[in-house]
Structure 1
Amino acid sequence: MNNQPTANLTDAAYKGPALEVDKAFYSRIAKTFDSRTLVDSFEIPIRSGKAWKVPAGHVCRLITVDGPQVGDLNIWNFNNPRERFWAARTRQLQAAHVTTFDRLWSNLPFLRPLATITADTLENYGVDSEGGRVHDTLGTRCDPYVNRMLTGEDFDYHCHSNLTRAVMPFGLTEFDVHDVLNVFQCTGLNDKDQYFMKTCPAKVGDFFELFAEQDLLMALSTCPGGDLSVPLWGEGAHDPIEVCRPIGVEVYKVSEDLLKDWKSPELPEYAGAHGLKAQRWS
């Protein structure tokens, strides 16, 4: 009988240099603002979406320009959109709610950081009295299919639809839209293990900043629920357009001096055979 202990894969996943983050480097990126060059700036209107490129080594800042507003963020490798943000693995390797120094990981078989969070003005929100935290990977985007199922009505400006329209100019479709990072959104799990959403705590000028580890395509939807102070479905639900606000986007080129020792993450070393052997056919 084998009395050797069973390997704890969860513990193993949190050991080794693969998950180590050079906090000093990312802190310099965040704090050395005067040497940045603004290369793109725009606002995403309410109940809409937009996609844009963020070159590797650049910083992207999302800003609540007029007050609290939830945004649903998708990310792809710009040069190979089959590689995209993986919310579930990010939740396991980082946290269910992410903040400064957490990394946003890509799907299999790529499995590497797409972006690293360098600044978050809501970082000190912490955990509220109901267990709510901000910037979550727990929930997914609102969509017209669930809306039809729950209300019997069609609505074309849910986050799934906003993201679908946003990526079309880049040759992507609805099938490329994926589980999101809910930026500025306050969520948690209640004592029944059920997902809940709360009013967005962001104020005018709050921001969430990402360092692009690769050439990225980002797309953001300004959620039709606005700051989520009004329920979209169920008791008390009504059209919350009065609490919908735009989100600002800024893309900055970072000083080359700061990037002299940085390089884009490499692909995993796994050979990819999955235990299969070549078949010999007679």
Structure 2
Amino acid sequence: MSSSWCGRDFQKREFAKHSPTICYDKPNAAVVSKEEYDDKRYKALCGDVIQTLIVPKREARTWSMQQGDLCRVTVHEGSQVGDMNFWNLDNTNERFYSGKTRQLHAAHLRVYDRLWSCLPYLRPMATFVFDTLATYGIDEDGGALHDVIGTRCDDYTYKLITGKERVGSCHSSLVKAVVEERGMCEQDVHDVWNIFMCTGITRDTDQYFCKPSPARKGDFIEFIADMNLLVALSACPQGDVSIPVGHEVPDEVCHPLKVEVFRQKL
């Protein structure tokens, strides 16, 4: 088929060159006082550990937090990524909005970035305050950690790729956890914060890519609740994400994640 239409050759078309423009000016609510949140972190860590739980490999668990609580998620045994959902504990219609978080901060969250709730609420749910992997930065392929560009892995897409039925994904694990532990439903599960996951967009084909997570035993992240929160975390059945979705994942590349919640002494 000819590339010309009505006498115009679109293959020879020239486009004006422009420098990139950041689309969203960061609002004041997205700018965190480092001193304030460092102080909140210090006071919480000097307080009490009010909850500790292990998210088993290939499973998910939920927990709640009060405003001001600090949560630490630790790579407990070996390299492992996690998919995390957030809801307002007092109104679960208000939930994490990964797309708006990406627009207001970045495709990969860094310390002092915030996690934002959905419309019509649009307010900070939590603030990222510590990361043992912060020095990873952005690698030579554009890969970085803790993204809000990818969705949770799910069995519907697995079937689309392989033609096979399966129950064994972050989506199904999160659904099981919120149904059994909180009386919620599948529609309550939403797009996630991918913690410890190394991802990016290829420069040549513009496709989402993953690399094996650089997280090792003992690495952790911390965030502080900016409202009363319900949180769910899946220890991803892709393990360290060294194997593409649709391929068999050996059990030995999957590990649990440890969750601790700290609360300031009154």
SS at match of 2:57: coil
Give the drift of 1:50: 0.5
Q: CA deviation at 1:255?
A: 3.8
Counterpart in the other structure of 1:227: 240
**One-letter code aligned to 1:123:** A
Which residues in structure 2 correspond to 1:138-149 (within 5 Å)? 138-149=149-160
1:137-177 residue CA offsets vs partner (Å, 9 max, x unmatched): 01000101111111122221200000001111212110010
Residue pair 1:225, 1:241 contacting (<8 A) in 2 also: no
CA distance in 2, matches of 1:25, 1:33: 12
Report if the CA contact (8 A) 1:29-1:118 is conserved. Answer: no
1:232 Cα deviation after fit: 2.8
How does the TM-score come out when normalised to structure 2?
0.88
Superimposed CA distance per residue, residues 87-137 of structure 1 (whole angstroms, 9 cap, x where no aligned partner): 000000011000210000000000000000111111111011211100000
1:124 matched residue in structure 2 = 135
Alignment partners' CA distance in 2, 1:14 and 1:58: 25
Residue by residue, what CA displacement relative to the aligned partner does 1:56-101 show, whole Å, maximum 9, x if unpaired?
1101111001121010000000110000000000000011000210
| 1:50 has 2:61 as partner | yes
1:253 to 231, 246, 263: 263
Question: Is 1:243 paired with 2:253?
Answer: yes
1:150 aligned partner: 161
Measure the CA separation in 2 of the matches of 1:230 and 1:18: 38
Looking at structure 2, the residues matched to 26 and 139 of structure 1 have their Cα atoms a distance apart, in angstroms, of 27
Is 1:198 paired with 2:195? Answer: no
Q: CA deviation at 1:14?
A: 2.1
Contact in 1 for aligned 2:45/2:264 (Cα 8 Å): no
Number of aligned residue pairs? 244
Given the two structures, how large is their TM-score scaled by the length of structure 1?
0.83
Matched, 1:61 2:72: yes
Q: Output one character per residue of 1:222-255: Cα deviation in whole Å (capped at 9) or x when no partner.
A: 111000112232xxx3233220000000001024
Partners in 1 of 2:66 and 2:42 — Cα distance? 20
1:186 equivalent to 2:205? Answer no
The alpha-carbon deviation at position 213 of structure 1 amounts to 0.6
Give unmatched runs, 5+ long, in structure 2.
1-20
1:9 CA displacement: 9.2
